Structure 1
């Protein structure tokens, strides 16, 4: 018998909100643009709620639908991951959009995303969450659609711990409960404690990237410094960032 959402990934975020909603949860760097964005638990949760309302009310997605995410490691990708979990979708990072019920794409994968026969959403991934100068044909512009969504989200039906929640390449679908259990296990493997701050340069299309860049720190009351386009950072630049951001583990 499955139980409702307290043991789901969305429940991890709800627990963080009950703890210290003002603390940083995700600090994002894009070293190609110089962008730095910091989101508290409360701000991140607000983005998740708005995105979940968009999924449920505007896109008409149903629990169990497959959500293909064609996105890099980015704070908005983390939002979509948690919003997908919150609405009972099966989140499938890097999945073939032809087999998905809806797809979310960055600006570099739009042609690939057109293979999806369902709803298509495009993210410009511009600084400050900016919109496309002109929305790509056949796509909703996330930055246009999400601001008007509600700040509180309640699913039409409870999201159960045993329901499929995550599909990664080369494996079967993991339930929400299994995602939480694995996130806690990864946190223990990394040696994370409450307040841990993880710097991740890993993509979000694998468990390692999802765990390091979002789920393991979230499971233990930690936070993330998420770095995109950081391959060119010199060792001394990385060391400076680690010190400035008070990083406790780099992956």
Structure 2
């Protein structure tokens, strides 16, 4: 993190320059037993590919609205940073009928058809697997499309830190506001700098969930252990996870 960082994409670039090998997002799904750990470099690679998909595959321009009909998940975190990288507005749980494009996961495919733009479906299956035999009708399969895009990204137009970047729970934030608020709230989440490791089981449909589950750790040189379906885990499982993942704070 640098004092000059003004957007979430800036925060990721600074993290990549400082220590690309450190963990950034570790994801658990207690309904499936999945565990995925993404270093800063691996996460940034996914973000670059997805940003290129947005910019070149979907012709997204700064200010375009992307409805993200997705849960708290490592791939959702990727899409949030990709939107920030191209200057698109990530509308978490937003109305597909008012969005330029939609990205949807299971349970939201029918609603997403209200969007007249490009529609991408995520299976949210372990390891980001593709749909078998095919994605839902009216959608392209993200897992099939994203590997074809480049590992490096450069926006065609500079991203304005003061422009709208995020909509969640009815509130709109600019990129600068996301960074400033995440920095200001990080210590309250127990994120005190490098080595801080926050376990979050909060959904992504509120600012608090996004702050704990992505922006706060990114803004404080920390990392997040993002847990989906934690209610299906036993207390013993949670205790072992906190110990094995070297958790320093929790948000549940």
TM-score (norm 2): 0.95
- Asked if 1 retains the 8 angstrom alpha-carbon contact of 2:31 and 2:232, the reply is no
Moved over 4 A (4+): none
Structure 1 residue matching 2:158: 3-state secondary structure: coil
Residue equivalent to 1:69: 68
CA distance in 1 between counterparts of 2:68 and 2:145 reads: 17
User: Which digits, 9 at most, give the CA deviation of each residue in 1:173-204, with x for residues without a partner?
Assistant: 21110110011011022231121101011111
How do 1:68-217 residues align onto structure 2 when only pairs under 5 Å count? 68-133=67-132, 134-171=134-171, 173-194=172-193, 195-217=195-217
CA distance in 1 between counterparts of 2:223 and 2:105 reads: 24
Per mean C-alpha deviation after superposition, the further-off stretch among 44-53 and 223-232 is 223-232
- Asked if 1 retains the 8 angstrom alpha-carbon contact of 2:23 and 2:39, the reply is yes
User: Which digits, 9 at most, give the CA deviation of each residue in 1:67-106, with x for residues without a partner?
Assistant: 1100011100000000011110111111111111111000
Any unmatched runs of 5+ in structure 1? none
Structure 2 residue matching 1:6: 3-state secondary structure: coil
CA distance in 1 between counterparts of 2:32 and 2:244 reads: 19
Structure 1 residue matching 2:232: 3-state secondary structure: coil
CA distance in 1 between counterparts of 2:124 and 2:5 reads: 31
Residue equivalent to 2:47: 48
TM-score (norm 1): 0.96
CA distance in 2 between counterparts of 1:52 and 1:127 reads: 22
Structure 2 residue matching 1:147: 3-state secondary structure: helix
Residue equivalent to 1:222: 222
Deviation at 1:169, TM superposition (A): 2.1
CA distance in 1 between counterparts of 2:146 and 2:12 reads: 20
Q: What is the number of equivalent residue pairs in this alignment?
A: 246
Deviation at 1:137, TM superposition (A): 1.3
